[in-house]
């Protein structure tokens, strides 16, 4: 990513999104965003892109072993879920009273 200008994304932590591309593609089931990695243009989505991670024994985890964790996916592979229309929707961003308001283009509903 370019270090000079910070990219602006329509997806925030806690949003409901659907995966539109990749192995976990499902346009009917929304998932929750756990984290947005702005510098890498990736998002961490709950229950998507599960990978196995091998851990060594530590003081907290005395056994170690194999854990299943979510790995980040490209932000272009997810789309915001519109609850009113019941599907994915593009987002328009407008300013009202100095605040940025996100609205779904499909239904026109404001996203919190």
With respect to residue 9, please indicate whether it lies within any of the assigned structural domains.
Answer: no
Q: For the chain, how many structural domains are there in total? A: 1
With respect to residue 2, please indicate whether it lies within any of the assigned structural domains.
Answer: no
- Region 31-53: what's the mean pLDDT? 96
Assign residue 85 the CATH number of its domain. 2.30.30.30
With respect to residue 10, please indicate whether it lies within any of the assigned structural domains.
Answer: no
With respect to residue 87, please indicate whether it lies within any of the assigned structural domains.
Answer: yes
Of 1 and 86, the structure prediction assigns the larger pLDDT to 86
Domain range for 39: 16-57+66-111
List, for residues 4-23, the tens digit of each pLDDT value.
Answer: 888 889 999 999 999 999 99
Q: Report which secondary-structure segment, H or E, holds 94.
A: strand 91-96
With respect to residue 25, please indicate whether it lies within any of the assigned structural domains.
Answer: yes
What's the pLDDT at 40?
A: 93
List, for residues 58-82, the tens digit of each pLDDT value.
Answer: 999 899 999 999 999 999 999 999 9
**1: burial class by Cβ within 10 Å (0-12, 13-18, 19+)?**
exposed
How large a percentage of the chain has pLDDT more than 90?
90
With respect to residue 4, please indicate whether it lies within any of the assigned structural domains.
Answer: no
Q: Read off the pLDDT band of 3 (50, 70, 90).
A: confident
Mean pLDDT of the chain: 94
> What is the rounded distance in angstroms from the CA atom of residue 68 to the CA atom of residue 85?
33
Closest listed residue to residue 1, CA positions, set 68, 105, 74: 74
């Amino acid at each position: 990513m370019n270090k000079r200008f910070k990219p602006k994304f329509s997806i925030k932590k806690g949003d409901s999104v659907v995966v539109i591309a990749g192995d976990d593609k499902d346009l009917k089931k929304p998932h929750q965003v756990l984290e947005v990695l702005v510098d890498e243009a990736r998002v961490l989505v709950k229950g998507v892109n599960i990978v196995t991670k091998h851990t060594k024994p530590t003081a907290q985890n005395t056994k170690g072993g194999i854990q299943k964790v979510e790995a980040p996916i490209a932000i272009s592979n997810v789309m915001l879920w519109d609850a009113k229309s019941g599907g994915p929707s593009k987002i328009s961003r407008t300013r009202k009273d100095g605040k940025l308001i996100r609205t779904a283009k499909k239904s026109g509903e404001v996203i919190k």
